[in-house]
Structure 1
């Protein structure tokens, strides 16, 4: 069931599987075991359901049985914006593990239904081709690769595999709650369409993946500590798509209104977390910091910035980060 292209990326690499005990991640767990792929697992207990304790126990049981490392995290109680906050917590956890244990790949169990559901949600709130293309099988992050080996499979195919092999898994009751937007889309739109047009939808995503490579060419994204930059493609929509991709890797999701503002703004503060700056030839992304007006910058530094026409929002960050300032001067000269 796993594609050869995915298996090649996993063999002889250090892999971390994002595990939950649900059908998707459990199916991926046993498919990896079947292919003799070496990996460890990580699971988060969000303290929202009593069943979570059993799911963590199951994760530990499987890890012990197959001689894997099981990393666990008990999250603090989330009082609002559960979906976005939970995502932030788990990816922060995963990335700390990746850094500490030197994992090469992070594996998630997103499947075709997740991708189609996401596509419909983006389409309905207003999005272009690049956003609608949605999830990719392979995404290069700052210091690891995110791989979704199940993205070509539909949920029913995973259930069929689990039931045939008599593999235990858990069902999250919250997935039935249609007050959650993604659940509403799944039950009312994406699932019925997949039932009726599965082969056509699979083929459409194959075409979309091919088209995306033409629409959005790969760019060389550079990092110096908290400073990220890339050379502008001189295509507004393509630049914004890459900015969105970078910010997602930093656990921030651009809103539709922020995407619109980026079309005209030379510099924009997003979510009071990051500043995105367009120098013309390069796009810069830096962390947002409060009270930068209190930073006393030297006259010589100010003159250099004025000569190079460096945006005032970028100057305090450059003043405190000499290595980045040297690079920016090199780029803008």
Structure 2
């Protein structure tokens, strides 16, 4: 039987990332059945004829169940559609959190998605933390990203909808193998889950526990705006700590960038982020190039703030004397 743990959603302001597809429709009706208050947000990418129908359906559901439906029209993406669509979608969600004050964003990722991610990262080279890209609860800057359906397969979710005669749409682009995720789904993950679902689900539970042990090798000490300062308890934890910090900042490191972080003590990633390793601390901040007064630079020097981190502190008016973990 499909159901969700609603403990984290009670007496909170919740936003469901809705697409009208199978997964998000299941989560929609489970929230309704469990009497959880929420709103929905849907993005129209304009690449399929039925997208307008899906938005109209979302608005009709919102009206029927007396909740609010946020909608937005995405621009036309000419290349790297999956990444650009994802970035646009989460920028939209982030803006709604800022404007409306949502505590939780709920997405309908399920076990098939978890396995697809695992296999894609495995094929590129990844450690445990990177392989487990989808977690039930992930703390972001000013909200929690929740994925309550990770233990269920697509097949189980479809059965739930059909059993209750709930409406949903089928996105035909999910069959288009030009998208990497679809290729992994049709060639590998669907077949594996059809035969080994219970074992795969248990393996993800075990891996999650292993990940927690591995991540005890570092501690996040400062999280202020987009500045992160992490205490490394072992040298080997540097890349893992950086990868997780960047993921929570919305940036995925490439294999080459992880190798750079492992080798270098001070570097700029992608022309956008600074990574500095000094005195057992890992510093991460946006890369800023700006003039600073001598007095500010001297305060940073006395407090042993790495040079590439200082411009961001200055721009964001962060006091250097208050951020160093003692």
Give the TM-score category using the shorter length. over 0.9
2:17 matched residue in structure 1: 18
Structure 2 unpaired stretches of 5+ = none
Shift, 1:124, TM fit? 1.1
1:164 matched residue in structure 2: 163
Q: 1:85-100 maps to which residues of 2 (within 5 A)? A: 85-100=84-99
Q: 1:124-203 maps to which residues of 2 (within 5 A)? A: 124-203=123-202
Q: How far apart in 2 are the matches of 1:153 and 1:89?
A: 27
Query: SS where residue 263 of structure 2 aligns?
Result: coil
CA contact (8 A) 1:232 1:280 kept: no
Q: How far apart in 1 are the matches of 2:316 and 2:250?
A: 23
Structure 1 unpaired stretches of 5+ = none
* TM-score under structure 1 length normalisation: 0.91
Name whichever of 221-230 and 77-86 sits farther off.
221-230
Q: How far apart in 1 are the matches of 2:279 and 2:82?
A: 36
Query: SS where residue 262 of structure 1 aligns?
Result: helix
**CA distance 1:137–1:271, shift in 2 (3 Å):** same
Name whichever of 211-220 and 129-138 sits farther off.
211-220
1:82 matched residue in structure 2: 81
Q: Give runs of ≥4 in structure 1 deviating > 6 Å.
A: none
CA contact (8 A) 2:305 2:320 kept: no
Q: Deviations over 1:234-283 (max 9, x none)?
A: 243x3333322332233221111111111011122222222122223322
Shift, 1:324, TM fit? 3.7
CA contact (8 A) 1:227 1:286 kept: yes
Query: SS where residue 90 of structure 2 aligns?
Result: helix
For the pair 1:297 / 2:292, whether they are aligned, the reply is: yes
Alignment length (residue pairs): 324
CA contact (8 A) 2:300 2:320 kept: no
* TM-score under structure 2 length normalisation: 0.93
For the pair 1:315 / 2:314, whether they are aligned, the reply is: no
1:247 matched residue in structure 2: 246
1:228 matched residue in structure 2: 228
Q: Deviations over 1:6-53 (max 9, x none)?
A: 311112211110000110000110111111111110011112112111
